[in-house]
Structure 1
């Protein structure tokens, strides 16, 4: 059975190092969220400045995804894979040491661009290295790293909630350290060779751009974009503003707000591991239907209670139970399964970029909208989650079966012998 075939350790290592893109992406967004109230007090920010910071980090991730994915397909995924995480470390250091809000924005700009560039590139790298029977689990494992990034940021936010800016600097400083360590490990990692068109010197831009605008690429690219942008409007809002909303709407203290987030995170982490287990089996898509309904119910409860603390507690339980099976992990796996391999970084970078651009605009207005009417904000998110569920059903019933038929029999079914450095050597 495909979902139970063991995966060699070198491929898990590649997935873990690629998953650091998700760890740092989530860690950056949640760290800004956790620190937002601290930044507001320390830098004397208003609601519009708070919204601007959240919008900039998301907008930069969007631009970085678009540019980074394209550069990876043009000049080599290996090269971009190694250097964008080093740039992230520089940005995270600037954020950590920022003496004022302007310097903070500069650091957010650099770190956001680098994080965005690493997302589609790292997913393409692990997908290139993976045989077809293991691709779902290896790609899904990057979502475990995403959950870990959230967990560490929220845990540190809870532990350091009474330490002000000192705690805020430690929360972002660990991202810089993690990025530097990952850069060192990636630099020594042996990766599969680049696509043939890059190796032979053909014009990759002509091949790649033409491939992007074909029906084979456009349909899955559009469908995965619709799913990710609608689902992500809710997930991104609570990722960036979960603590902020609990403090300003639900009247929770900073410590209670971070504690609530932290208490429910283990549920999400354990279930994300469960998703990895089923990511190459039919249960991946079967569980989506149930989880999508529960996820919608979670937002309905939050909306009906207009963000009251009791309603938010119920929301967090249902959301953590459902999100691992009807969220970003599905988007990552579906994208790698349905998008053409030769332009995978470019096309997924485009869907990431467009989605994060929408998130950035939404983030700019979220604090003001939450201040004006929490109910309107929550019902809008509920509608987005419903649209995401419908898009997911279309992908499952139409695109996934179609992509499975398009894969030649026997393709990617062998695991190459491993090099001394631990990753597969190129097959000849």
Structure 2
């Protein structure tokens, strides 16, 4: 089985450095969420400023994904790959040492745009560096980094919950430090003699925007977008409002709601590692069919019980068991397998940007919809998850086999062995 072939350590290093984009993306969103009440009290922010900061994080990541992916295809993925992580570090430092809410907002703008730009660029970079027999595992490993970003931010928030602004600065400060270390290590990566990049690091002239609007790019871009946006509406809702829904709909205490979320994090991390192991084997897509059904069942149970605590506990168990095998990790792998190599940055940047924009709009209405009718909210998400399952099946049955012999390998980076 192809998935059992060992991957050299330098390629795992490249995957980890690219995966830092996912770590910082998740860490930024969660840290702002964890620190928001502290910022509000310390800076005397009004409700509109607090809401603006929350919305701007998601909005900037969307814009950054759109612009950054295209810039990477135009000016060289390695060049953009290095600069966006450095810009993120600057934004995170501004957030960390912000003396007022206006400075905080400026830092969020910079960090959000840079985080968004790094997402499609880093995935394209690790895909370029990977041989076809290792691409699934290396791309899937970035999802492990995403889970770690969430884990570190939540646990630091829990451990530093009584320390006020000192704790808030430490939580965002570790993101700045991680970004600076990653920038230093990425700078050591050397460009390979790839036919798609010139010696100056820019992409060849044949790669133009019109290449995005071909059937070869449009069909997989549309299919992966439909999967990601429908799956993500459910995942993003419970990522941002899981604790909120447990408290307001399920009548759980704040400590119980937080504990439920924390309890399932290790399960998610371990199962994401399991997905990495099968990401280059036939089991990747076989497990998707099973996991997608279980994931839909989880939301059906939550919907049938109208968000009652017992039903939500069953939901969380089933969702955490299925999500790693029928979620964002699949989207990342399928995108790299099916999208044309030369426009991966642009096309995946488009799907990221459009999806994150939809998530931002949906998040604005979620509290009001939950207050009006939890059942309507949950059944809507169930319908989205069902649509995601059908989109995933189409990608597996049609696009992955079709692209197996048409998506060429590229060598975008050469990683030093020392």
Contact 2:196 2:204 in 1 (8 A): no
Change in CA separation of 1:100 and 1:384 when aligned onto 2, cut-off 3 Å: farther
What is the CA distance between 1:365 and its match in structure 2? 2.3
Change in CA separation of 1:410 and 1:34 when aligned onto 2, cut-off 3 Å: closer
Q: In structure 2, what is the Cα distance between the partners aligned to 1:365 and 1:39? A: 23
What is the CA distance between 1:135 and its match in structure 2? 0.4
What is the CA distance between 1:283 and its match in structure 2? 0.5
Total equivalences in the alignment? 418
Farther-moved stretch of structure 1 (251-260 vs 39-48): 39-48
Contact 2:60 2:113 in 1 (8 A): yes
What is the CA distance between 1:188 and its match in structure 2? 1.8
Q: In structure 2, what is the Cα distance between the partners aligned to 1:50 and 1:371? A: 20
Change in CA separation of 1:34 and 1:228 when aligned onto 2, cut-off 3 Å: same
* Structure 1 residues 123-161: Cα deviation after superposition (integer angstroms, max 9, x where no partner): 111111100000011001111111111111121222223
Farther-moved stretch of structure 1 (50-59 vs 189-198): 189-198
Farther-moved stretch of structure 1 (325-334 vs 161-170): 161-170
Change in CA separation of 1:206 and 1:10 when aligned onto 2, cut-off 3 Å: closer
Contact 1:66 1:353 in 2 (8 A): yes
- Equivalent positions of 1:228-267 (< 5 A) are 228-267=228-267
What is the CA distance between 1:383 and its match in structure 2? 1.4
Q: In structure 1, what is the Cα distance between the partners aligned to 2:317 and 2:369? A: 24
Q: In structure 2, what is the Cα distance between the partners aligned to 1:220 and 1:269? A: 28
Q: In structure 1, what is the Cα distance between the partners aligned to 2:172 and 2:302? A: 30
Change in CA separation of 1:191 and 1:145 when aligned onto 2, cut-off 3 Å: farther
Change in CA separation of 1:127 and 1:151 when aligned onto 2, cut-off 3 Å: same
* Structure 1 residues 39-87: Cα deviation after superposition (integer angstroms, max 9, x where no partner): 4555566766554333211111111011101111111111111110111
Contact 1:62 1:356 in 2 (8 A): yes
Q: In structure 2, what is the Cα distance between the partners aligned to 1:180 and 1:203? A: 26
What is the CA distance between 1:92 and its match in structure 2? 1.6
Change in CA separation of 1:202 and 1:250 when aligned onto 2, cut-off 3 Å: closer
Q: In structure 1, what is the Cα distance between the partners aligned to 2:346 and 2:198? A: 14
Contact 2:92 2:173 in 1 (8 A): yes
Change in CA separation of 1:115 and 1:201 when aligned onto 2, cut-off 3 Å: closer
Contact 2:267 2:320 in 1 (8 A): yes
Gaps of 5+ in 2: none
2:123 is the alignment partner of 1:123: yes
Farther-moved stretch of structure 1 (204-213 vs 117-126): 204-213
Change in CA separation of 1:133 and 1:373 when aligned onto 2, cut-off 3 Å: same
Q: In structure 1, what is the Cα distance between the partners aligned to 2:52 and 2:195? A: 39
Contact 2:128 2:412 in 1 (8 A): no
Change in CA separation of 1:328 and 1:409 when aligned onto 2, cut-off 3 Å: closer
Change in CA separation of 1:300 and 1:34 when aligned onto 2, cut-off 3 Å: farther
Farther-moved stretch of structure 1 (229-238 vs 96-105): 96-105
Contact 2:73 2:207 in 1 (8 A): no
Farther-moved stretch of structure 1 (331-340 vs 304-313): 304-313
Contact 2:246 2:309 in 1 (8 A): yes
Q: In structure 1, what is the Cα distance between the partners aligned to 2:285 and 2:30? A: 28
Contact 2:188 2:416 in 1 (8 A): no
Change in CA separation of 1:47 and 1:273 when aligned onto 2, cut-off 3 Å: same
Contact 2:243 2:258 in 1 (8 A): yes
Change in CA separation of 1:50 and 1:403 when aligned onto 2, cut-off 3 Å: same
What is the CA distance between 1:205 and its match in structure 2? 6.1
What is the CA distance between 1:376 and its match in structure 2? 2.6
* Structure 1 residues 288-309: Cα deviation after superposition (integer angstroms, max 9, x where no partner): 0111111112222223333333
Question: Which secondary structure state, in structure 1, belongs to the residue aligned with residue 405 of structure 2?
Answer: helix
What is the CA distance between 1:222 and its match in structure 2? 0.3
Structure-1-length-normalised TM-score: 0.89
Contact 1:54 1:363 in 2 (8 A): no
Q: In structure 2, what is the Cα distance between the partners aligned to 1:322 and 1:245? A: 21
Change in CA separation of 1:201 and 1:135 when aligned onto 2, cut-off 3 Å: closer
Q: In structure 1, what is the Cα distance between the partners aligned to 2:110 and 2:212? A: 28
Contact 1:221 1:348 in 2 (8 A): yes
* Structure 1 residues 70-126: Cα deviation after superposition (integer angstroms, max 9, x where no partner): 111111111111110111112222223334443332222111100000001101111
Change in CA separation of 1:2 and 1:254 when aligned onto 2, cut-off 3 Å: same
What is the CA distance between 1:248 and its match in structure 2? 4.0
Contact 2:307 2:375 in 1 (8 A): yes
Farther-moved stretch of structure 1 (118-127 vs 235-244): 235-244
Question: Which secondary structure state, in structure 2, belongs to the residue aligned with residue 163 of structure 1?
Answer: coil
* Structure 1 residues 148-185: Cα deviation after superposition (integer angstroms, max 9, x where no partner): 11111121222223434433332222111111111111
Structure-2-length-normalised TM-score: 0.91
Contact 2:341 2:408 in 1 (8 A): no
Farther-moved stretch of structure 1 (273-282 vs 104-113): 104-113
